[in-house]
Structure 1
Amino acid sequence: MLFLVDISQLLTVALLGLLAGALWAEGELLVPYWKTLSSDEFYKLHPQYAPRLFKFFAPITALTPPVAVVAALLAWYNNAPTAWWSTGTALLAASLIAIYFVYFSQTNAAFAREAISADQLAGELNRWHNWHRLRVVICMLAFFLSIGAISQ
């Protein structure tokens, strides 16, 4: 049964690496561009790109935490020495979902409704970027913990 632990931990590493890299790229490439746009330009582009970003990020963001939790449960069940590493990974991965519901779901919906005024948009994009950076840091920490788990 230890091979299931290894497989689940390798899958966790792969998913977290992909998610961390994608989140980092979004935050460092797209968000600075969004900040240069006028509110009219931003709201004109948002309906075109938001659904594409959601289609890309939703599956991997939804899949990664459960895989990490399964890896942790398998590690504990099999008394693997990686159990604590996997538990830390799972908790950090699960926090990514929590942060989405705490901030991003409402704010993204407000962007979609064009509910943020032109004079408030720059501030909200800065706030969005800061929350996003927090998610990147958490995801990278989870990724490094997951590497620690497979290194044991």
Structure 2
Amino acid sequence: MKQFLLFFSVTIFAIFIGSQITEGVLLVPYWQSLSASDFYTFYNNFGSSISQFYTVLTIVAALIPVIFSVYCLSINYNALKFSLISAFFSLLFVASFYIYFKGTNELFYQATFNEVELKKELIIWSYWHWGRVFIESLSLLFLILACVKIQKTNRDYTFK
């Protein structure tokens, strides 16, 4: 059962990153191809749905490394270091929302930018997005390392 939960947690986190990569590969270039008026129409029609989808996924994904850390701390696993690093990166990708995305997304709803400003802002948004995906990937990497360490520790105790 524990192995299933470890696998399931990593799978959920990987699905989250996959959705982020999909957004960066499909949605962002599409947004960049639109005129300002078409972008604002699209964003007003679908922005809240996109936001709700990513809010749920982000919260679940960010909680996984934190829960892993509490679990590792409670049973004193050697995986604690990796799970704490993963949790740190998960807090960073959540912080990036409040540092940049929340305010910028609100400006998109308000249709604040003219054509030229919007094109520039979508490029900046893309850079922030891919930076966030990189941080999320680091969090996933250390989450996987924590799982491997947990499995290795379990195996070592089983054979002693």
Q: CA RMSD in A?
A: 1.7
Q: State the match for 1:127 in structure 2.
A: 124
- Give the deviation of 1:83 after TM superposition: 0.6
Query: 1:84 is matched with which residue: 73, 76, 81?
Result: 81
- Runs of 4+ in structure 1 deviating by more than 2 angstroms, as ranges, are 4-12
Q: State the match for 1:16 in structure 2.
A: 13
TM-score (norm 2): 0.86
Q: How does 1:58-97 map to 2 (within 5 A)?
A: 58-97=55-94
- Give the deviation of 1:55 after TM superposition: 1.8
Q: Matched residues in 2 for 1:117 and 1:79: separation? A: 55
Q: Matched residues in 1 for 2:117 and 2:5: separation? A: 44
Q: How many residues align?
A: 149
Q: Matched residues in 2 for 1:59 and 1:7: separation? A: 22
> Contact 2:24–2:130 (CA<8 Å) still a contact in 1?
yes
Question: Equivalent residue of 2:78, what SS?
Answer: coil
> Contact 2:86–2:142 (CA<8 Å) still a contact in 1?
yes
- Give the deviation of 1:9 after TM superposition: 4.3
Q: State the match for 1:103 in structure 2.
A: 100
Query: 2:36 is matched with which residue: 35, 39, 43?
Result: 39
Please say which structure displays the higher CA radius of gyration: 2
TM-score (norm 1): 0.90
Q: Matched residues in 2 for 1:10 and 1:149: separation? A: 12
Percent same amino acid among aligned pairs? 26
What whole-Å deviation, never above 9, does each CA across 1:30-55 have from its counterpart, x for those lacking one?
Answer: 10111111111111111122112112
Query: 1:53 is matched with which residue: 42, 50, 54?
Result: 50
Query: 1:143 is matched with which residue: 140, 143, 154?
Result: 140
> Contact 1:16–1:142 (CA<8 Å) still a contact in 2?
no
- Greater RCO, 1 or 2 (C-alpha within 8 Å, sep 6+): 1
Q: Matched residues in 2 for 1:35 and 1:59: separation? A: 25
Q: Matched residues in 2 for 1:146 and 1:40: separation? A: 42
Structure 2 unaligned residues grouped into runs of 5+ = 150-160
Give the AA of the match of 1:48: N
